[in-house]
Amino acid sequence: MAKKSHKKKDGAKARPGTPAPAAATGPAPRGKMSRKDYERELRRLHGELVSLQEWVKSSGAKVCIVFEGRDTAGKGGTIKAITERVSPRVFRVVALPAPTEREKSQMYIQRYITHFPAAGEVVIFDRSWYNRVGVERVMGFATEEQAQVFLTQAPAVEKAMVENGIILLKYWLEVSPEEQTRRLQARIDDPRKTWKLSPLDLKSYSRWHDYTRSRDDMLTETSSPWAPWHVAHTDDKKRGRLNIISHLLGQIPYDPQPELDVRLPRRQRPLARQEHDLTPYLIPEPF
């Protein structure tokens, strides 16, 4: 089977201190995508993700993917779309809780470093060290001085990651204020979604413009040639997920795996004994 090479695409890479990427405020994508079209494209991309997985295993690559964005931007759904057809032994999701008192006394980045990928792993951060200039800064859990120190130090930490062989991809999921309102209201109204709602979500909702300022600072100060930020519109969840998966596949130089010629072996002959009756062990079957 002929192999198709996937070369990393060169995109616009902002240097620290440059204006925020235009994608953060540029035109949103087209209208809502149909479920049929979405599932067809997702199936194709899932096949590519499996190829990526096999390449990561065979090459010993180390991949780290960071997802950031406001509440309801679609981080969890995007991560689920990426991981639902691959092995959890290769793709590992990290979503850390609030730091303990011990962790608060450590170097800020320290609790994240222990989760960085080893050879043959893809680690996905559902929020990351960028909490420092996100929720922590906006909600007053970090001082402005701490936020500024982080903005200065983050590019150096990420340069060390890349120099040590980690493929680092950073995504900001951009949701409009109108769509965020709709999604939060849906969480309030739908008992199946109330578990997603926290008091902090409501406080954060009222501080949209503070988050915008922090987003802009993050993009301009920590987008570097070695670890640029990528912004994805996610008002249309389906289209946003597909765009992100397609983009990340284009950033990693993996090779599609050849199709395997696999045939099922013959089963052994029946054993010379009566099979055990499973009836006493069956669970109820109301459906």
Is residue 247, in this structure, part of any structural domain at all? yes
Per the model's pLDDT, the better-predicted residue between 58 and 271 turns out to be 58
Is residue 286, in this structure, part of any structural domain at all? no
Domain CATH number, residue 182: 3.40.50.300
Arithmetic mean of pLDDT, 253-263: 87
Burial bucket for residue 124 (CB in 10 Å: 0-12, 13-18, 19+) = buried
Least confident of 1-10, 208-217, 225-234, 250-259: 1-10
**Tens digit of each residue's pLDDT (9 = 90 or more) over 132-186:** 999 999 999 999 999 999 999 999 999 999 999 999 999 999 999 999 999 999 9
Is residue 202, in this structure, part of any structural domain at all? yes
pLDDT at 27: 54
pTM: 0.85
Arithmetic mean of pLDDT, 223-232: 98
Helices (H), 60-174: 75-83, 101-104, 110-113, 135-138, 144-163
Report in angstroms the alpha-carbon separations of 214 from 219, 222, 262: 9, 12, 52
Place of tokens 């209208």: 31
**Tens digit of each residue's pLDDT (9 = 90 or more) over 29-66:** 577 789 999 999 999 999 999 999 999 999 999 999 99
Domain count along the chain? 1
Is residue 54, in this structure, part of any structural domain at all? yes
User: CA-CA distance, 231 to 174, in Å (whole number)?
Assistant: 7
Is residue 274, in this structure, part of any structural domain at all? no
Arithmetic mean of pLDDT, 98-120: 97
Q: Within 13 Å and on the Cβ side, how many CA atoms surround 92?
A: 18
User: CA-CA distance, 161 to 144, in Å (whole number)?
Assistant: 26
**Tens digit of each residue's pLDDT (9 = 90 or more) over 173-209:** 999 999 999 999 999 999 898 888 888 888 889 999 9
Per the model's pLDDT, the better-predicted residue between 275 and 207 turns out to be 207
Is residue 272, in this structure, part of any structural domain at all? no
Is residue 60, in this structure, part of any structural domain at all? yes
Is residue 116, in this structure, part of any structural domain at all? yes
Boundaries of domain holding 52: 22-259
257, 260, 261, 262: which is closest to 54 by C-alpha?
257
Mean pLDDT of the chain: 90
